[in-house]
Amino acid sequence: MRPDSWMENGACRSRGVDPTIFFPITPSQEAAARKVCRTCIVKDACLTHALQSGEADGIYGGMNPAERRKLSRPPRICRGCGNEMNVSPAMRYCTPECWKESRNRRHREQRRVTL
């Protein structure tokens, strides 16, 4: 069996599916592509292929390029506690309390060094 044989079983390969919807220009084309992907039995393999090969365009595994980029980013880590964060990229700490604790810890360490 070929490594890419999953492609032959994709819902996008069935008759009556317009292949241009998977490279959408309009929101309705994107919605139509996602609808086809929802019924697909090889959706996970398709998404894995797109992530591994760095597909920059099109709908693969029911996701558009922006969603795939977000999925492939490493998780953001809080500078204070080291936990994963699901917040704005501009934020460095998960909560204001975490920032305060981190600041207080740095101040305590600085005081120890100067004494």
Q: Is 95 exposed, middle or buried (0-12, 13-18, 19+ CB in 10 A)?
A: middle
Q: What is the pLDDT of residue 2?
A: 60
Q: What is the pLDDT of residue 94?
A: 86
Q: What is the pLDDT of residue 37?
A: 95
Q: What is the pLDDT of residue 15?
A: 82
Q: What is the pLDDT of residue 115?
A: 60
Q: What is the pLDDT of residue 86?
A: 76
Q: What is the pLDDT of residue 43?
A: 94
Helix or strand (DSSP H, E) at 77: strand 76-77
Residue 14 sits at φ, ψ, to 5 deg, of -75, 160
Helix or strand (DSSP H, E) at 84: strand 84-85
Q: What is the pLDDT of residue 38?
A: 94
Q: What is the pLDDT of residue 1?
A: 43
Question: What are the 10-residue block averages of pLDDT along the chain, 115 residues in total?
Answer: 75 88 93 94 93 92 92 83 80 88 88 73
Domain range annotation of the chain = 5-72, 76-114
